Amino acid sequence: MQHSGLSYWERESFMDLDIAIVGGGIVGMSVAASIKDRWPQRQVTIIERGCIPYGASTRNAGFACFGSLTEIVSDLDIMGADQARKLLFNRWLGLKITRERLKSYDIGYEDLGGFEIVESSLANSIDRIAEINELVEDFILDYIQLLKATDQPGLRLNDKQHLVSMSQEGQVDTGKLLKALHAYCISIGVEFICGSKVKNFEALHGKTSIHVKDPIRGDLELKALQCVVCTNAFTQKLLPNIKLNPGRGQVLITEPIDGLQFRGNLHIDEGFYYMRNVGDRILFGGGRNLDFDAENTMKLGLNNDIQHQLDQILLKYLRLEEQPKIDIRWSGIMAFGKNKMPIVRLQEDGLIIATKMSGMGIALAGQIGEEVVGIFEENNL
Ligand SMILES: Cc1cc2nc3c(=O)[nH]c(=O)nc-3n(C[C@H](O)[C@H](O)[C@H](O)COP(=O)(O)OP(=O)(O)OC[C@H]3O[C@@H](n4cnc5c(N)ncnc54)[C@H](O)[C@@H]3O)c2cc1C
């Protein structure tokens, strides 16, 4: 007689899924929420490898932003006006959807504004402000404004740098946002299987067979009518045909700083550096461009050279009396590609892919959920 790994009850109630979502970050949960909001009777299950998400969504900087001046200028040059505009609109729409969905939850949203210090090497971006404002004027009026250095007394600027602001930009408490989204998903009946890593997929008579590693039971096979893959940078491990580049982002947060003046988000150097206040602390991250090869990794960890550089340039941009004490340093993994457009599509094997957020998932996630619902509708899934 053979002992089955599964009980009768487990086999009957847990192994056959309607819609499986792989990855429980902000995108996976937003996709689950959009599907369940649209079709409350359908069963939606998120399969997440960590006990809490383990990628970028709980490890980011919490900018609720659409793009800084020099970043948009670079996007315009690489992607052209139509694509760059579409991306800005999708970020704006995505954030609107998320804030509306979570309006009765505390996500720590603060309307403190977004700023950019434009270095002299990128000063020609200033000539593109009118062009960009015109591109987005039907959804954000007067998006970018040129300011005087004295408008932000907490920042340190030299006379070759420019200061601009991005309107409608705010910040969230990343932890509260993710907990709120989780609570919202639970409230509408989304189910979660956590601590189980998906190993691979197989198309199986109109269903997808999902091979999962349960830390206690070992290998399990779940079957789903539809499966949406929301594993961002880690997608390539599961689906090597999806081309994207992982990018590690490193962050530090200081201890509270007495007399800290700066409030809001600060972007520097096409978004490669980002700084914000968290109460009286400063969160500062970036520097991936200092060592692209080493940071093109799915491994969480710190690069001492980059962390040292972050320590150095903190005082370059902030008017502080002394080097602040650092509380925690950490990293998270993002997904990039040739351009910044996310990958959202139905594949021939029946899998739906929603990945490659290019470091802007907080804003995009709400819109990605709606785009996936559109794929279900168009294909009668
Ligand atoms: C340091 C840093 C700062 C950032 N700052 C900002 C910011 O200020 N504003 C902004 O908009 N964006 C920011 N981002 C980017 C943003 O965090 C991401 O775009 C967003 O979190 C992507 O969400 P996601 O759900 O697609 O991916 P993830 O959060 O990476 O979620 C993917 C999930 O899939 C799970 N998973 C992976 N493989 C498997 C598997 N085989 N089986 C089961 N589960 C699996 C992972 O554990 C993970 O939880 C930042 C990112 C980093 C790293």
Segment 265-290 shows an average pLDDT of 95
Query: What class is the 8-58+176-243+341-378 domain?
Result: alpha beta
* C-alpha–C-alpha distance, residues 136 and 298, integer Å: 34
Q: 158-173 in b/e burial notation, b at 16+ Cβ within 10 A?
A: eeebbbbbbebbbbbb
Domain with CATH 3.50.50.60 in the chain: 8-58+176-243+341-378
Per-residue confidence (pLDDT) for residue 71, from 0 to 100: 95
Q: Is the pLDDT of residue 148 over 80?
A: yes
* pLDDT per residue as tens digits for the range 30-66: 999 999 999 999 999 999 999 999 999 999 999 999 9
Task: Out of 60, 97, 172, 266, give the residue to mutate to test ligand 1, the one with the largest number of ligand atoms within 8 Å of its CB.
Answer: 60
306 lines ligand 1 (CB under 6 A): no
- The two structure tokens encoding residue 317: 């941009």
Query: Which H or E run includes 309?
Result: helix 304-317
Ligand 1 centroid – CA 55 distance (Å): 4
- The two structure tokens encoding residue 272: 């490669």
Task: Out of 214, 265, 362, give the residue to mutate to test ligand 1, the one with the largest number of ligand atoms within 8 Å of its CB.
Answer: 362
Domain with CATH 3.30.9.10 in the chain: 111-170+244-336
Query: What class is the 111-170+244-336 domain?
Result: alpha beta
Short-list 94, 103, 104, 117, CA closest to 27: 94
* C-alpha–C-alpha distance, residues 224 and 253, integer Å: 41
251 lines ligand 1 (CB under 6 A): yes
Residues 9/344, Cβ–Cβ less than 8 Å:
no
94 lines ligand 1 (CB under 6 A): no
Ligand 1 centroid – CA 333 distance (Å): 6
20 lines ligand 1 (CB under 6 A): no
DSSP alpha helix (H) spans, 168-207: 174-187
* C-alpha–C-alpha distance, residues 115 and 104, integer Å: 28
* pLDDT per residue as tens digits for the range 67-96: 999 999 999 999 999 999 999 999 999 999
Per-residue confidence (pLDDT) for residue 292, from 0 to 100: 92
205 alpha-carbon distance from chain centroid: 34
- The two structure tokens encoding residue 174: 């990343």
Beta-bridged to residue 220, according to DSSP, are: 212
Per-residue confidence (pLDDT) for residue 152, from 0 to 100: 87
* pLDDT per residue as tens digits for the range 162-205: 999 999 999 999 999 999 999 999 999 999 999 999 999 999 88
The mean pLDDT value of the chain amounts to: 95
Per-residue confidence (pLDDT) for residue 28, from 0 to 100: 98
* C-alpha–C-alpha distance, residues 170 and 182, integer Å: 21
Per-residue confidence (pLDDT) for residue 153, from 0 to 100: 85
Per-residue confidence (pLDDT) for residue 149, from 0 to 100: 85
Q: Is the pLDDT of residue 3 over 90?
A: no
Among 44-48, 117-121, 368-372, the minimum mean pLDDT is found in 117-121
Within 10 A of 116 (CB to CB), how many other CB atoms are there?
28
Give pTM, 2 decimals: 0.97
Task: Out of 116, 172, 231, give the residue to mutate to test ligand 1, the one with the largest number of ligand atoms within 8 Å of its CB.
Answer: 231
Per-residue confidence (pLDDT) for residue 270, from 0 to 100: 86
Q: What backbone torsions phi and psi does residue 302 show, to the nearest 5 degrees?
A: -115, 150
Ligand 1 centroid – CA 349 distance (Å): 25
* pLDDT per residue as tens digits for the range 215-259: 999 999 999 999 999 999 999 999 999 999 999 999 999 999 999
Atom of ligand 1 nearest to the CA of 359: 15
Task: Out of 46, 71, 168, 357, give the residue to mutate to test ligand 1, the one with the largest number of ligand atoms within 8 Å of its CB.
Answer: 357
Within 10 A of 122 (CB to CB), how many other CB atoms are there?
19
Per-residue confidence (pLDDT) for residue 285, from 0 to 100: 96
Short-list 320, 312, 310, 268, CA closest to 162: 268
**Is residue 4 very low, low, confident or very high in pLDDT (cuts 50, 70, 90)?**
confident
Residue 204 identity: L
234 lines ligand 1 (CB under 6 A): yes
Q: Is the pLDDT of residue 5 over 90?
A: no
As a whole-number percent, the residues of the chain with pLDDT over 90 amount to 92
Residue 46 identity: I
Q: Is the pLDDT of residue 1 over 90?
A: no
Per-residue confidence (pLDDT) for residue 204, from 0 to 100: 87
